[in-house]
A and B are shown apart, each in its own frame.
Chain A
Amino acid sequence: GAGVSQSPSNKVTEKGKDVELRCDPISGHTALYWYRQSLGQGLEFLIYFQGNSAPDKSGLPSDRFSAERTGGSVSTLTIQRTQQEDSAVYLCASSPQPGETEAFFGQGTRLTVV
């Protein structure tokens, strides 16, 4: 596609429910990043994919968070048993190669846990 696409753009869910967030990176980009950003805060790194593998999962806040990437393309971030503190904007970015070139961001998914 023309840019990084994330869906849904907004998600309101009840505490305790599972949610899936989707990221469709720019075609051909091998590196994919997930970040979380709370209101007025900086980017919190969650996970990084190089192709389908995740060399760095160190940012996942708890075992309720998981992510996968298939076919070197689409990635899904799953949050199980959501909590109110999970409420944030979840941003996905992709780049042609890890770290050397510009990372392009999607518009984000705003998750609200009520």
Chain B
Amino acid sequence: QKEVEQNSGPLSVPEGAIASLNCTYSDRGSQSFFWYRQYSGKSPELIMFIYSNGDKEDGRFTAQLNKASQYVSLLIRDSQPSDSATYLCAVTPDSNYQLIWGAGTKLIIKP
């Protein structure tokens, strides 16, 4: 059974602080890793993807991948109230397989 685990939260972070979201996956051969953001009542939208070990930065967002420990994280710097949403982690066990989704972490940024 291929699984992706996330803490459901809610995770409450003060405005301006760093929000850290974590995701673990069970299949050691997983190749592609995605972070999606979902606002209440809206569809998920892609924030970042990462394929290689290490960090990938895009603006205020940094994705971190550690394949040895089988976790991927998302850091949001200078958190804004508009970052309040549910963040979904998705993993592809191999290149010809459908996405496996975590249940999501609800993030609340307090002004």
Binary flags per residue of B70-111, CB closer than 8 Å to A gives 1, else 0: 000000000000000000101011111111011110000000
Q: Which of A98, A102, A105, A107 interacts with B97 by CB under 8 Å?
A: A98
In contact, B101 and A43 (Cβ under 8 angstroms): yes
Min CB distance, A62 to chain B, in Å?
A: 20
Q: Which B residue sits closest to A47, measured CB to CB?
A: B98
B88 surroundings in chain A (CB, below 8 A): 42-43
In contact, B43 and A99 (Cβ under 8 angstroms): no
A98 surroundings in chain B (CB, below 8 A): 92, 95-98
For the complex, count residues of B whose C-beta is within 8 A of A: 22
In contact, A42 and B98 (Cβ under 8 angstroms): no
Min CB distance, A113 to chain B, in Å?
A: 19
Q: Which B residue sits closest to A91, measured CB to CB?
A: B43
For the complex, count residues of A whose C-beta is within 8 A of B: 23
Min CB distance, B5 to chain A, in Å?
A: 11
Min CB distance, A59 to chain B, in Å?
A: 9
6 closest A-B pairs by CB = A99-B92, A42-B103, A105-B43, A48-B98, A102-B46, A43-B101
B residues in contact (CB < 8 Å) with A: 31-32, 34, 43-46, 49, 88, 90, 92-99, 101-104
CB pairs A–B below 8 angstroms (16 shown): A42-B88, A42-B101, A42-B103, A43-B44, A43-B88, A43-B101, A45-B98, A45-B101, A91-B43, A91-B44, A99-B92, A99-B95, A100-B31, A101-B49, A105-B44, A106-B43
